[in-house]
Amino acid sequence: MRINREHIVGFICIAIAIAILCITPTFPKGQAGVNLTGPAFFPEVLAIAYLVLGVIQILIGFKAQKQIKDGTPSDTQEVQKKKGRVWPTVEFIALLIAFIVLFEPLGFIISTIAFLFLLMLLLGLKWWKSLLYAVIYTAVIYLLFGRLFTIGLPSGILSALGM
pLDDT in tens, 11-53: 999 999 999 999 988 887 766 655 566 778 888 889 999 999 9
Task: Give the pLDDT confidence of 111-135 residue by residue, as tens digits.
Answer: 999 999 999 999 889 999 999 999 9
How does pLDDT run across 65-93, given as a tens digit for each residue? 777 777 666 555 555 555 555 577 788 89
Alpha carbon of residue 37 to chain centroid: 24
Quickly list DSSP for 64-81.
HHHHHHHTPPPHHHHHHG
pTM for the predicted model, two decimal places? 0.53
Domain boundaries, the chain: 1-80, 85-163
What pLDDT is attached to residue 140?
Answer: 94
